[in-house]
């Protein structure tokens, strides 16, 4: 179970709800949770806000600095 998926479930959110809040596809959220992809800086900030945590709390290994 991924840290991101665990945070999402603890907050009672679905992947669809997170995707809507971050303005990405559900497929993208699933890729982040599986580790197949890492959110870019802008999306990581929106993701942290959607989950009510700091960027550090997301424990993302390699957040891209490029705008997305």
CATH of residue 31's domain is 1.10.260.40
pTM of the model: 0.85
pLDDT of residue 62: 54
CA distance 48 to 27: 18
Whether residue 24 lies inside any domain: the answer is yes
Residue 34 lies in a domain: yes
What average pLDDT does the chain have? 88
Is the pLDDT score of 68 beyond 50? no
In a domain, 67, yes or no: no
Assigned domain for 46 exists: yes
In this prediction, residues 62-67 reach a mean pLDDT of 49
DSSP state of 36: S
Better-predicted residue by pLDDT, 60 or 5: 5
Does the structure show a pLDDT above 70 at 58? yes
- How many domains, in total, are found in the chain? 1
Query: Which domain does 25 fall in, by range?
Result: 3-53
d(CA 19, CA 45): 13
Q: Is 66 among the domain residues?
A: no
């Amino acid at each position: 179970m991924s840290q991101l998926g665990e945070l999402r479930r603890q907050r009672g959110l679905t992947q669809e709800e997170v995707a809507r809040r971050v303005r990405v596809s559900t497929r993208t959220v699933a890729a982040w949770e599986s580790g197949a992809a890492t959110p870019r800086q802008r999306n990581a900030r929106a993701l942290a806000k959607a989950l009510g945590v700091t960027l550090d709390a997301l424990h993302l290994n390699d957040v891209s600095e490029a705008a997305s």
